[in-house]
Structure 1
């Protein structure tokens, strides 16, 4: 029997060092969200299964973690569960087996919240949410089964200024984190609808967007095969291939798009949306990308995808878009919205690879009080409590009369910048020795001035 402990595949433990780095990312994002007037919100880890299913497209629905019903502890319930399991094997959902699921993202639960509380909310309603989500995906670099999302959404407004603000929020966050080489790619789902109409394949819009959305993972040849398998003709596939081959500057891409699919109503509306975003984000790393599809069915307008710097093999580190009737899925129509999400775990991996985390993040304890004996340790303990009241993080070495070298080694391993030494002589003369462990510089500080010393160094 193997008793070696483990954790589920696609999940992780986080050490103190990792948590501090993650908190650096989270606090940066939170600060920028609140700078733009967003308020915090949290929703449950689990949702009713019917809330989630059918909202993410065929591929997304397959990745939802379903939760088995509790109470499977008697023969009657076990029989129900068996019957439910047989339905699941047939590709059907069964309330006998599962009625709830872990949330796949933060957007659908947010839409559910708005639908439930729309009579109490002041619109436009601006919220941000930082919580874990779960997906039954295949774990790989930058892709986990449990991960943290940071979302911000505005609902109750059609204004494209909100869309432009989200592009600026991405720029502000990434600039503060040092990711100046990021790229924010934008498109409009209206343009994808126009493409489907120009191909005479409006009934195949979902198939087209789903296939195009895979271009960063598979080749154009495989995308063409998938489109053919979905029932598109050779001429339709050929037009789609020309569409995804559009290249050049942002303005050149727009010109090529119009030349290819003409001035179908959706084309004009989508192009106008993109031009407005570009107008308000001059000088930012905005790239028009007509291959961007964001394979979630609820997007209706501008869509975003943030890419890591090209020097890092990571891909998307954020994304989002406009959804003008998301709450209609829950019986409350005509509440427009737009939102974005930051991929915290991927951003962490990018910052780590590029060595962009600030060096001082790992400093928690500022001063280690050496334990010089029972009497000296007790005296140091009282001084330490006074320092803590003054906001100075400190700790006392745990063993009395340990060798000085051992205590220095402990401080070094924990990246503690200062050592405080109080022996019998120091007690008698009301001072202590304070050593800067990085420079080797040593100071004599009277007890009354110790808090001032640390607050100024």
Structure 2
């Protein structure tokens, strides 16, 4: 019995129309990246496991897809695992023996590896963009996939906060061009979170604190408190933290409150100063259609962020998680031996952006995957006449096809109708004799005889 075909959960097939619409988003993002001076690179789909592991925190590491080594690694005569370790059945210990490579979890860590490996060929500050798929062993749900594209722009080799300003503008530029107006660019600073942890006496629990806080919009205040308690953060510390859950007002008011809360924290005040520069500068420059908002509970769970952190949410009323995010990382390349190489970057979530544009019906009508005209196949000599015209139309940039078989007229017309091809050409003995074409408009049903020049003019209009 034939096996029923299927694909893994969290992955998707894309129809021709979907691919064209996705390419529309890619093209706008890529054009903006180029306009802002970013250069393209690509890295392998999979990396050595030790390149990826330990860079994303405990939760992130669990979501990395591992690739099994080839060969009979459990054969007692060949295996590198000791009998003692094998008998323990400890999957974490065994993994290093049976898997040495993994699918990339994001594009940032592979980029850091790239920078270190190619440091002698790179001119710093290095502005790179990268548009490639990534994989996460996550639980699939709306807007959350196991295979998805990231579109990243990063700058390494500069500590300047002007880079953060430029990345806010880049977000605004892309979403405005996509006609996705009213997105919110949320902004926080990891130094502020470190300052908060310091003030509430939870410095040793910074990672647990930020991972829990990052879930506020998903599990609510009570859920965050429960998780923090489970991680050993004291109730007294959480009590000091609670005013932050309800911070309101504009950027200036939020920063004023933070200054009073973090008056005793040097690192916290440094983070506030950095936020002030970014928000004040953006206010001077102004944005096209995005909103910039300080969110003091924004944490972004990745361990490598050290300064500004960004997250972009869709316009009000759209039920979707973040459609972009990023931040400053002061020493990500240090894990690969290149110290004091600060970087900052942002990412666009292509798949979620697609779903938002689809929900709001924002794809332009012109973004279609379609042949403009189909030539009906009446036989060998007629097809040769048609193909000469098809070649000329293609040279003029007009998408054209000849139906491959001399099938019944109804079948060929039905094909054009199902493919939403707007025009059909009928060219038989009479047309060949007159060097003309009978052009049929599939929508109106009208048809008329035209010469090639008139045909090309109509199809280009």
CA deviations over 1:381-440 (Å, ceiling 9, x no partner): 22212222222211012332522x443332222121222221211111111122333344
Report if the CA contact (8 A) 2:263-2:269 is conserved. Answer: no
CA deviations over 1:82-114 (Å, ceiling 9, x no partner): 967767735336432111111000000000011
Structure-1 residue corresponding to 2:300: 294
Structure-2 residue corresponding to 1:164: 165
Shift of 1:140: 0.6
Structure-2 residue corresponding to 1:320: 326
Structure-2 residue corresponding to 1:100: 101
Report if the CA contact (8 A) 1:305-1:319 is conserved. Answer: yes
Shift of 1:2: 7.2
Alignment of 1:114 with 2:119, yes or no, is no
- Structure 2 CA distance for partners of 1:81 and 1:44, relative to 1, 3 Å: farther
1:434 is aligned, of 431, 436, 439, to 439
Q: Distance in 2 between matches of 1:349 and 1:421?
A: 40
Structure-1 residue corresponding to 2:6: 6
Report if the CA contact (8 A) 1:80-1:97 is conserved. Answer: no
Q: How does 1:64-79 map to 2 (within 5 A)?
A: 64-72=64-72, 75-76=75-76, 79=79
- More deviation in 276-285 or 215-224? 276-285
The TM-score with structure 2 as length reference comes to 0.93
- More deviation in 391-400 or 295-304? 391-400
Q: Distance in 2 between matches of 1:362 and 1:13?
A: 18
2:366 is aligned, of 354, 360, 372, to 360
Shift of 1:79: 4.2
Report if the CA contact (8 A) 1:87-1:94 is conserved. Answer: no
Report if the CA contact (8 A) 2:185-2:292 is conserved. Answer: yes
- Structure 2 CA distance for partners of 1:338 and 1:259, relative to 1, 3 Å: same
Report if the CA contact (8 A) 1:376-1:423 is conserved. Answer: yes
Q: CA RMSD in A?
A: 2.1
CA deviations over 1:113-156 (Å, ceiling 9, x no partner): 11111122100101011111111100111111111111110000
Q: Distance in 2 between matches of 1:321 and 1:428?
A: 68
- Structure 2 CA distance for partners of 1:301 and 1:387, relative to 1, 3 Å: same
- Structure 2 CA distance for partners of 1:86 and 1:182, relative to 1, 3 Å: farther
Q: Distance in 1 between matches of 2:81 and 2:371?
A: 53
What secondary structure sits across from 2:219 in the alignment?
coil
- Structure 2 CA distance for partners of 1:82 and 1:420, relative to 1, 3 Å: farther
What secondary structure sits across from 1:305 in the alignment?
strand
Structure-2 residue corresponding to 1:181: 182
Q: Distance in 2 between matches of 1:138 and 1:326?
A: 28
Q: Distance in 1 between matches of 2:323 and 2:231?
A: 30
Alignment of 1:351 with 2:352, yes or no, is no
Q: Distance in 2 between matches of 1:19 and 1:86?
A: 49
1:305 is aligned, of 306, 311, 321, to 311
Q: Distance in 1 between matches of 2:182 and 2:77?
A: 56
Structure-1 residue corresponding to 2:281: 280
The number of residue pairs the alignment matches comes to 455
Shift of 1:167: 0.7
2:341 is aligned, of 306, 315, 335, to 335
- 5+ residue gaps, structure 2, are none
Report if the CA contact (8 A) 1:387-1:450 is conserved. Answer: no
Shift of 1:364: 2.8
Q: Distance in 2 between matches of 1:291 and 1:26?
A: 31
Structure-2 residue corresponding to 1:389: 395
Shift of 1:268: 2.3
Q: Distance in 2 between matches of 1:148 and 1:358?
A: 22
- Structure 2 CA distance for partners of 1:93 and 1:14, relative to 1, 3 Å: same
Report if the CA contact (8 A) 2:17-2:369 is conserved. Answer: no
Structure-1 residue corresponding to 2:156: 155
Shift of 1:173: 0.8
